Structure 1
Amino acid sequence: MRNDEALTVDEVAEILQVSRNTVYALKSRGELASFKVGRKLRFSYTDVQAYIAKSKTSREPEVVPVKQGGRFVICGQDVILDVLSNYVTQAGVECLRSYIGSYDALTALYKDDVQVASAHLWDSATGEYNVPFVQKLLPSTPAVVVNLTYRTQGLYVAKGNPLDLHAWEDLGEQGVRLINREKGAGSRVLLDESLRAHGINPYKIEGYGDEVQSHIAVASMVARGRADVAVGSEKIARQVKGIDFVPLKKERYDLVFKQSAFETPGIKAMLGILESGLLREEFASLGGYDTSDMGRIMWMG
């Protein structure tokens, strides 16, 4: 994707993993630059990436922990979190969104910059999702891990899979060009842990150091022939023309919050929504989501 490429509202929504209304709101608040082509609203790829980078590093000083009377912030990039946050707001709790990856989300939770972090971080040493990272990144902090959904992670490849890429080991083949996610993203951690488990030196893979910051962006790079392969989720592969998807791993996508927040209005509203079945029914029919364990407590410690 070229830095000067004009993007539609729908394309920006896919890159940010937010709703169309959220894109318009960002534009109205002056947080995301835009321009007109005729009567059509457009955004530059460079401006979108700049917004993503800013959202990863900025900390709004007015956002304080719920226990101190501040607003309720859910952190993560999947569109399911936008819908969940809307339900929480409808339940009477002002809910904000922060669009940073899993590793940074847990760090933000530890610092009380957000109240809920989403995570899909696989630990190759234990074979577990999320809990080992929660224990490391929230030291001496009692936390709760609640399942949101399961998704399938795998390889984005060109239509027809011309390089015959079917396993992690194939990424180490000479001439295979990778486009990578940013450090701390769940897909990046899965790639790094899988390469380590198979004894593959990542720095010998062409393109390993080339990073973009969303599933839709890496899928688009493969579709445009600017990379041969990328790691991402199945549901995005269904939305991007010109690529095939090679499933490799079913991942667990969880919500994490501190035990001390269990009785706060935001957490109570969120858990009530997960238990109600509204979100489960809405996303079970979309494809790419397994909501069978939604709302189940996976770990407390």
Structure 2
Amino acid sequence: MPAFRFRTNQAPTGAVTDMTEVHTFTASDGETIAYYVDDFTDPWREAPVMFLLHSAMGNSDRFYSWVPALARHFRLIRMDLRGHGRSSVQAPSKPLTMDRLVDDVEELMQLLHIETMHLTANSAGGYVAQNMALRSAGKVLSLAVVGSTPGLSPDALTWLPRMEQEGMTKFLTDTIDMRFDLATTDAGMVDWFLRQTAENDPAFVRRFIGYCATLNWEDQLHRIACPTLVILPGAETVGTAKSYEAMREHIPNVRMIAYAHMPHNIADMVPDRCVADILAFHTDKFGYPKV
């Protein structure tokens, strides 16, 4: 794989701020996709590349607490999924498909001359990551997903009328215990989550959730060939225990770690624990980072 280091100022157009860079590119269907490069690895070493894909209703900023530890060992690429963050919102007339979401990742890899990478994702970002591992196995060295089942439960379709009638913020406020353990989560985190989700286009969010709730690829899990880590909430409220059991049973090279008694948003509630388990997984499977 060609050396990938944007610190040499050979990056595509974008703002460069020391070791974190902000960029956009135009996808093959004309949409603008935003991405961020975080690189705090030793300048004299070649380090592996890791892509981070965020959850629905979020954006790459949701990984703010993950970046410090991961970017010390990996050259991180955080991508705003289309319709989220600084990426453009596609027109309702344009089809939204999983193939297109995976295309965005592959086209960014091609732009950056990245042949293989480690793929780490949270919640709905994990749907894209799993399908990338299924479709383009040779490009994904490892897969790590947090709170991500093989498709969103159809129960999520019941959210949509409420989100449209009440507004996304009121719906999320009224159902916040589905996502956070309020007894142990800083109230500031909950407030920030509600403000950040409100920044998204509500019609696109409903469309995105509605689409994801129609998908299920449990019967394809056996085709995920790379080493895989699944970190799951022990008291999952968005997915189902049955779906995680399917991942345990059918993904050939899988490590399952359950966070007991926790609801869905473990990536936000216990980020340091998630990152520690991800790094330990990579050390065990690839000998890097060395501890």
TM-score > 0.5, shorter chain as reference: no
Higher relative contact order by CA 8 Å / sep ≥ 6: 1 or 2? 1
Structure with higher strand content: 1
TM-score between both structures, scaled by the size of structure 2: 0.30
Q: Rg bigger for which structure?
A: 1
